[in-house]
Each structure stands twice: as structure tokens, then as C-alpha cells.
Amino acid sequence: MAGEQESETSQRILAVVLEALERGGYHGVHLQEVARIARVSLATVYKLFGTRDELIVAALAQWMAGASYADLTAPEPGESLYDGLMRLFRRVFEPWERSPRMLEAFHRARSGPSGNRLDAQGLIAVLPAAAAVLDGADPRYLEDIGYVLTNLSYGLIGRYVDGTIDITDILPTLDRAVYRLTADNADLATAAVVRRAESEPGASTQARP
């Protein structure tokens, strides 16, 4: 009973924090105001979440799970690396385009002491879908793509938060990068799709002529 009540209180607090993040971003979360709106004491907020940073990370993790990391599906048969990677990027970034203050909050929280939790959540959510898209790729090619796109993604997020690009510039920039990494490496990209198709259930084991 006590556990259920504590969980209900936590969810009420997180709902208030998410509203504050949507309105004012990372700096719009004030714990005394959160406690007042959630109808709990400030001591309860600290008891359940420890610090302001941990509270914001918990709220962002909940939002990301429902908004950006839901429905990360496996590739369709024959889907190109370009199409598969951009499908994943759009699924992650389009909710941020609709809620830009959440992206700003994500960037600042990720740089804080509890930010590794957000990185871990992203890996757990995205890695299986990305691995399915890239299945069959040459390991060195896969490593290069992952390194370039991961660093580019975080760099673009940082530039948006700094005000040097618009949030709507992120996906087009990623689109160009993914195209260059796949179209300009057409042989490797095509080979990955062929090997992935051969490993799918029901694929013919007959050697190609």
C-alpha cells in the first residue's frame, strides 16, 4: 500500500515537472513550485528523487520513452541503410521538433551528474532497432557510421541549444550526412542489405549465380 502511494506521488510530481519543462525548459523547473503544485512537501520531493537534476532526468526519461523511443520498429525487407537510418532519426527527433524545450532540457540534463542515465536509456531503446537496420554491414563500416552520426547528432543538439541553428535544421543535416555515408559507400551499403536479406527467416539458402 505504501509503495503504491509513493508511486502515485512520484507520478504526480513527474507530471508537474514535465509541464514545467514544456513551458520553460531546464531552467523552468523550480522545486518549491513543483512541490506546491503537486501538493507535497519539498522534503517528499527530495526523498523520492534526491536532487533537482535526478528529478529532471527522471521526467525526461519518462517523456522520451513515450515520445521518441516508442515504436522503433525493425526494417522492412529490402529497406536501404539510408531509409532505415533516417526512419530512426525521424522517430527520435520529430517529437523534439514539436517540443523544442524538451530538447534543450535533454541537452542540459545530459551534461549533468545524472546524464549518463539518459545516454543509457537511448542505447537500450535505439540500439536493437539500429542493429537490425545495420545487420550484415562490415564491422569497420558500422563503427565509422555509428561514430560519425552519434557525434554529429549531439553536436547539432548543442548548436541548437546555443542558438546557432534552428531545431528544424537538425533532421535535414542528418539526412545529408546519412546520404553521404551510405550513397557514397554504395557497395558497402548494398552488401549490408543483401547479407541482412539472406539472414532473414525464410530466406533462400541457394547460392546466388
Please check whether residues 18 and 75 belong to one and the same domain. no
How far is residue 84's CA from residue 170's CA, in Å, rounded to a whole number?
Answer: 17
Range of the domain at 37: 2-53
Q: How far apart are CA 176 and CA 60, in angstroms?
A: 28
Output the pTM of the full model: 0.83
In a domain, residue 207? The reply is no
In a domain, 183, yes or no: yes
Q: Closest Cα partner for 58 from 112, 98, 100?
A: 112
pLDDT category at 209 given cuts 50, 70, 90 is: very low
Strands (E) in 61-197, as ranges, are none
Residues 24 and 88 in one domain: no
In this predicted structure, what is the pLDDT of residue 31?
A: 97
Are 90 and 131 spatial neighbours (Cβ–Cβ below 8 Å)?
Answer: no
pLDDT in tens, 136-177: 878 888 888 889 999 999 999 999 999 999 999 999 999 999
Residues 91 and 19 in one domain: no
- The verdict on 27 and 90 lying in the same domain is no
Each residue's pLDDT tens digit, 94-137: 999 999 999 999 999 999 999 999 999 998 999 888 888 888 87
Q: What is the CATH number of the domain that holds 15?
A: 1.10.10.60
116 and 179 share a domain? yes
Question: Do 91 and 171 sit in the same domain of this protein?
Answer: yes
Give residue 208's pLDDT. 42
Residues 103 and 36 in one domain: no
Q: Is residue 110 part of a domain?
A: yes
Q: What angle do CA 20, 13, 70 make, to 5 degrees?
A: 75
Quickly list DSSP for 164-196: SS-GGGHHHHHHHHHHHHHHTTHHHHHHHHHHH
**Total domain count, the chain:** 2
Clarify whether residues 23 and 112 are in a common domain: no
Q: Which long-range contacts (CB under 8 A, 24 or more apart) does 123-132 make?
A: 125/64, 125/65, 125/68, 125/69, 125/72, 126/69, 126/72, 126/88, 126/92, 128/72, 129/72, 129/73, 129/74, 129/88, 130/85, 130/88, 132/74, 132/75
Q: Are 144 and 195 in a shared domain?
A: yes
- Per-residue CA distances from 138 to 87, 105, 194 (Å): 21, 36, 12
C-alpha grid cell for residue 114? 545524472
Whether 43 and 130 share a structural domain: no
47 plus 14 within the same structural domain:
yes
Q: Is 91 among the domain residues?
A: yes
Asked whether residue 59 is assigned to any structural domain, the reply reads: no
Residues 11 and 96 in one domain: no
